[in-house]
Structure 1
Amino acid sequence: MMRGGAEWVSCRGGRTLEFLSRRRGMSVVDWSGRPTMLGDGAGERVCLGNGSSAHDLGMCWKGARSSCRSSRMSIRSALCMENGGVMEEKPVLYGSELQGFADRVAACNGGRARSTEFLPFKIDNYTLGYIHHRLAQHLKRFSDVFSIEGDEDVSRIASGSSKLSYVTLDPSLSSPEKRTKAVAGVLETLKGEGLITGWRNELYPVVQNYGEPPFFLMERAAAKHFGIRSFGVHMNGYVNIDGEKHLWVARRSDTKSTYPGRLDHIVAGGQPEGISCKENVIKECDEEAGIPRDLAAKAVAVGAVSYDEIYGDCYSRDLLFCYDLELPLDFQPYNKDGEVQSFMRVPVSEVVNVIRDTEEYKPNCALVIIDFFIRHGYITPEQKGYIHLLQSLRSGDTS
């Protein structure tokens, strides 16, 4: 039965298929009582772990019998079975409420009520970030680099009753180069103490607004701890098949330090210093999906989404520049940097369901794809909550 973009294999006898693209085994699932899926009664079936057709992905597997027959189900159902649960199939949203999408946006803007736990990080009276009071106390040890101006009482800072305190750099650090070097030394120490993890060896500009000269450069892993503005590029890669759009979807490597195994864009990355957004897209296209430069250069800038999120002692203030790229029908992505374990090509109507009803996507990717749904008419003004959803995609600072 053809039902969406995920290919399934029906096997008798309880065999286990090892999906090489996922690098892990998965036991077959008993589908007794659901004969409509096969059309011939009870049986066992297993999804090809990445949720797409073997033909599209060049998949290979072992352990399946030669008598196995294949059929198709929605990616949403495939994800359901991977997660060991059952999801009710729902139609594409046309004319219904948009609460599921609003939930995805809200997930990227959580924790704002805790903002009083953070101290402004300022240089020359410009507020560049926000630092949790616990990290601020650690920074006091490095008095030749950092200082807390105003009230230094920990109890008042922690309770949010200290309104005048802020973190700044020593006045002797008067140039971007001096600040970059001095702060880097502190961050290396904090890294060694386990206070900053997920080191990337990638420098982010510390700015008040995008495009301005940076006050200094900071290791990417520390950005969320200092609450500085972070920028990135996310690209929707899609194809048109018989008038229907299909998105290329990546599944993140299980070894990623953040959101391992979650669904992602075909191409996305942070925006480092010293390179334009377009050049960054082209670079990421090559590294993450093997998209050649002449094709990647056709990516079109289509806007931006933004969000502010507080979690733990971190404050993410992100703005993501969005790009669309229509890919040839015969294009097959392949990953070079080891950060993606598989790709799948999925009808947009199925991606609508996945984002609306699950948390399978990396959270900020969901925002960019919701923006894609709006721009391509999958979400329309006739649906209740349209304006609120549209505005919420830019809940963070867009300056």
Structure 2
Amino acid sequence: MSFLDKIRACNTWNPRDFRPFLLDGERIGSLRPGAVEQFRRWPAQFQVATDAVYWSGAPADFAGRTAVLAEVVQCLAEEGVVSHLHGEPYPVTAGHREQARCLIDRAAAPFFGMRAFGQHLNGFVRTPRGIEMWIGRRSASRRLYPRCLDHLVAGGLPNGLTLSENLRKECAEEAGMSAELADRAVAVGAVTYCRDSERGLKPDVMYCYDLELPEDFAPRCTDGEVETFYRLPVEEVRDLVRDTGEFKLNCNLVIIDFLIRHGLLAQSDPEYLTILRGLRADLP
């Protein structure tokens, strides 16, 4: 295994396997052939063509488009085509969150191949022995990646909250962290990837943060999503990422980015430049 293997695992998709989902000429999603056929059920809304699915009957307003998608998603969820509903509204956009054309339930975004946004925080402590990172183990009850290793704080970025508001919320829920401490997190960029998953296409953007924590900090999960925490030497975290499949898949990318920025992945590594490029994949 290698760092590059982890990057490739998050970027396994073939554009020829997906058909664009278009709204007013913008590609807001990417559909598998099986998903494409579902849209024939709503001919007043969607035009299924050989090159794309066009949302030709979309209402002109934000609320109207959101309502139409909610009805479609509810129907798909009731029939089991979409596995479940999450209850968090995500922006439907071909670009930034602020350019949303409407909203969709978080759990349905991969079915439509719609762009999703999240936040991942590297919580670490500087010690006489070197950097140590706080790592969580996901609860066995999690629908996705049960009992895998995860960041100290990581979560989706729903519509209606700013980056700082959502980060405070996630820090409180997942690590029992005060808003004052959460606000010390340093925004360090973003990682992107596009993965063909069993639920559909995931063209995702993860905003990344570093937070240097005090020596006496001890995380406390308040929402039941994490079953235990570990404080590990960064070299051990590095080896777990490179050599095992212990981490939730997309966490690997954010940790690799951390390793690069802190000089823990050598520039002399023959895959160094390929790894750098791989952390910022182009999104459809």
- Which TM class, normalised by the smaller chain length? over 0.9
Q: Does 1:373 align with 2:259?
A: yes
What aligned pairs does 1:223-242 form with structure 2 within 5 A after superposition?
223-242=109-128
Q: Does 1:353 align with 2:255?
A: no
The answer on whether the counterparts of 1:333 and 1:343 sit within 8 Å (CA) in structure 2 is yes
The answer on whether the counterparts of 1:145 and 1:183 sit within 8 Å (CA) in structure 2 is no
Q: Counterpart in 2 of 1:255?
A: 141
Q: Which ranges in structure 2 are unaligned for 5 or more consecutive residues?
A: none
Q: Counterpart in 2 of 1:90?
A: none
SS in 2 for 1:334: coil
The answer on whether the counterparts of 1:299 and 1:324 sit within 8 Å (CA) in structure 2 is yes
> 1: CA distance between counterparts of 2:18 and 2:61?
26
Structure showing the higher helix proportion among its residues: 2
Q: Match of 2:4, as an amino acid?
A: A
What aligned pairs does 1:1-399 form with structure 2 within 5 A after superposition?
100-110=2-12, 112-113=13-14, 115-148=15-48, 150-151=49-50, 165-171=51-57, 173-312=59-198, 314-397=200-283
Q: Match of 1:171, as an amino acid?
A: G
> 1: CA distance between counterparts of 2:191 and 2:282?
8
Q: Match of 1:311, as an amino acid?
A: S
Higher alpha-carbon deviation: 238-247 or 351-360 = 238-247
Q: Match of 1:169, as an amino acid?
A: W
> 1: CA distance between counterparts of 2:83 and 2:71?
15
> 2: CA distance between counterparts of 1:367 and 1:380?
16
> 2: CA distance between counterparts of 1:138 and 1:211?
27
Q: Counterpart in 2 of 1:41?
A: none
- TM-score, structure 2 as length reference: 0.96
> 2: CA distance between counterparts of 1:219 and 1:313?
14
Q: Deviations over 1:81-123 (max 9, x none)?
A: xxxxxxxxxxxxxxxxxx610111111011x23x223211111
Rg bigger for which structure?
A: 1
**Residue 251 of structure 1, CA deviation:** 0.3
Q: Counterpart in 2 of 1:156?
A: none
**Residue 197 of structure 1, CA deviation:** 1.4
Greater RCO between the two (CA within 8 Å, min separation 6)? 2
- TM-score, structure 1 as length reference: 0.69
SS in 2 for 1:261: coil
> 2: CA distance between counterparts of 1:177 and 1:292?
35
Fraction of identical pairs, as percent: 40
**Residue 279 of structure 1, CA deviation:** 1.7
Q: Deviations over 1:148-193 (max 9, x none)?
A: 1x33xxxxxxxxxxxxx21122435111110101110111111011
The answer on whether the counterparts of 1:253 and 1:338 sit within 8 Å (CA) in structure 2 is yes
**Residue 243 of structure 1, CA deviation:** 4.8
Q: Match of 2:105, as an amino acid?
A: E
The answer on whether the counterparts of 2:91 and 2:97 sit within 8 Å (CA) in structure 1 is no
Q: Deviations over 1:291-331 (max 9, x none)?
A: 11100000000011111111346111001010000111111
The answer on whether the counterparts of 2:58 and 2:65 sit within 8 Å (CA) in structure 1 is no
Aligned length: 284
The answer on whether the counterparts of 2:44 and 2:57 sit within 8 Å (CA) in structure 1 is no
> 2: CA distance between counterparts of 1:334 and 1:262?
18
> 2: CA distance between counterparts of 1:321 and 1:253?
23
Q: Match of 1:133, as an amino acid?
A: P
Q: Which ranges in structure 1 are unaligned for 5 or more consecutive residues?
A: 1-98, 152-164
Q: Deviations over 1:342-398 (max 9, x none)?
A: 111001011011111000000100000000000001102122211111111112339
SS in 1 for 2:221: coil
SS in 2 for 1:298: coil
Q: Match of 1:119, as an amino acid?
A: R
**Residue 147 of structure 1, CA deviation:** 2.6
Q: Deviations over 1:43-75 (max 9, x none)?
A: xxxxxxxxxxxxxxxxxxxxxxxxxxxxxxxxx
